[in-house]
Amino acid sequence: MSREIFIGGWTRQSLSQRSQNERHAVWKRARALHSAEGNHLARAIEKLGLPYAEPEPLPDDDPMMMQLRSLMASPAARSAAIESTLDGQPAMAGIDTLLHDALGQDYRLNAAAAPTAQILLAQLMTSLGYSEAGSKPLPKRCVARTGLFWRRTESP
């Protein structure tokens, strides 16, 4: 039974080797299929006993949250977010590299770090006069798999 292969070629072993965020993404896609095969995969993920839910954002008093806030307030973060947006990428594509350089493996290994960074980035982009324009996949090098694409809000 441990060698059972699910839709998409997933096995229990390959699922257990994924991060919480990756398992959540697989679980979410499987549930969205609304098929017997998708439901079977989603149930297998649930029964693994490993975390698969989308993590909650970091609490305000968490040391990493303080570092994320500081980085997001920097001119380098603003520049990276705007440059990525102008290049047709989600703003997170530029920010992700900045965060990984500054925080290293702490950023990559903390399941709540990328979702928290996405929230802080949304606040930054909104404050800069941008509005959400959909979601796009991020480059493979990024911790987050998808990010919001932003467009400049029209001035009245």
- Residue 40 CB partners (closer than 8 Å, separation 6+): 6, 7
Mean pLDDT in residue range 104-115: 87
Share of the chain above pLDDT 70, in %: 97
Q: pLDDT at residue 156 above 80?
A: no
pLDDT greater than 70 at residue 154: no
pLDDT in tens, 70-85: 999 999 999 999 999 9
Average pLDDT over residues 94-108: 91
Asked whether residue 99 carries a pLDDT value surpassing 90, the answer given is yes
Residue 2 has pLDDT above 70, yes or no: no
Q: What is the pLDDT of residues 11-25, one digit of tens each?
A: 999 998 987 778 888
Distance CA 87, CA 26 (A): 28
Domain assignments of the chain as residue spans, ordered by start: 7-47, 63-152
Segment 42-47 shows an average pLDDT of 91
Distance of alpha carbon 117 from alpha carbon 96, whole angstroms: 8
What is the rounded average pLDDT of the residues 40-69? 89
